[in-house]
Chain A
Amino acid sequence: MADALFLAISVLTIGSAIAALEMRSLVYGSIALMGTLGGVAGFYVMLDSPFVAMFQLAVYVGSIAVLILFTVMLVKRELIFKKIEDPKRKLAGIGLMLIVILALGAIIMDSGIKTITTDSDPVDFREIGGDFLTYYWPALILMALILAGSVMGALVLARREDTIENEQ
């Protein structure tokens, strides 16, 4: 059975995921999203993968959440507090969510996953480093290029051009 720590982290993760989508203010929403991402990092620690947990904290909680906060700051004040959604679509969305959760949950509960447990030692993080530098090195280089390209693309997209300013 799940222990108390697991239950606490799952309540934190799922609760703040709902809060991130439902809170009135986008600023509080993005802080709640930080809670979700931090909770997932906690799950990684429970799964004996501290390396992925540190990566999650550094990349998600550290940079992505702050990036989102800065974008929210750039948006007009009344848009931050305005909720844009249709009530009819909300009911349909809740129905869709329940269908997805119940259907996938029923499939998973019916499968053999329920009985899987392990007593083996966790994977050493040194093995991950070895994987990165031996088997996955082309993917690593490709990922570096993609990251550089996407950062440059984001800079080009978000650059304030004088032509746009003149039109306003």
Chain B
Amino acid sequence: MSNELIEFVLVSIALLGIGIYGLAVKRNAIRMLFAVEIIVNAANLNLVAFARFMPHSGGQTLALFSIAIAAAEVAVGLALIIVAYRMYKNIDIADFRSLKG
């Protein structure tokens, strides 16, 4: 194993920072979903990296569960965005403040 654990953790921290930046700054709902995906991937990378260096199979199993749940989350999130777009004709989350139909 030529790479050390710290390198993977640093990449994961960078991805987490970028995701937090996206969530804080962007008001486009689809871009916020991108940011959430980037954060989830940072967490999964951490899980697999620590599982490799333990070594233990639990981390990989948990990462697989996490990937599957993220798929479900994206499907529901995109459906919500489509519904909101149909109602407000916009994907700016500042327009979604009033949730009345």
Residues of B within 8 A of A151 (CB): 72, 75
- Categorize the interface residue count of chain A: 35 or more
Q: Evaluate contact between A13 and B11: CB separation under 8 angstroms.
A: yes
Count of CB-CB pairs between chains A and B under 8 Å: 240
Interface residues of B, dominant DSSP: helix
Report the nearest A residue to B95, measured CB to CB: A84
| Residue B97, interface by CB 8 Å | no
Q: Evaluate contact between B72 and A123: CB separation under 8 angstroms.
A: no
Residues of A within 8 A of B37 (CB): 33, 37, 60, 64
Q: Evaluate contact between A121 and B55: CB separation under 8 angstroms.
A: yes
Q: Evaluate contact between B86 and A164: CB separation under 8 angstroms.
A: yes
Report how far A93 CA is from B35 CA in the complex, Å: 13
Residues of B within 8 A of A56 (CB): 44, 67
Residues of A within 8 A of B61 (CB): 128, 131-132, 136
| Residue A113, interface by CB 8 Å | yes
Interface residues of A, dominant DSSP: helix
| Residue B1, interface by CB 8 Å | yes
CB distance from A158 to the nearest CB of B (A): 4
Q: Evaluate contact between B76 and A21: CB separation under 8 angstroms.
A: no
| Chain B 61-75 residues near chain A, CB threshold 8 A | 61, 63-65, 67-75
Are A44 and B48 also in contact (CB < 8 A) when A108-B10, A116-B53 are? Answer: yes
Q: List 18 A-B contacts (CB under 8 A).
A: A2-B4, A17-B18, A33-B37, A44-B48, A46-B3, A55-B67, A60-B37, A67-B78, A75-B91, A84-B92, A105-B10, A123-B57, A127-B57, A128-B61, A128-B64, A147-B72, A151-B72, A154-B76
Residues of B within 8 A of A (CB): 1-11, 13-22, 24-28, 30-31, 33-35, 37-38, 41, 44-45, 48-49, 51-53, 55-58, 60-61, 63-65, 67-76, 78-83, 85-87, 89-92, 94
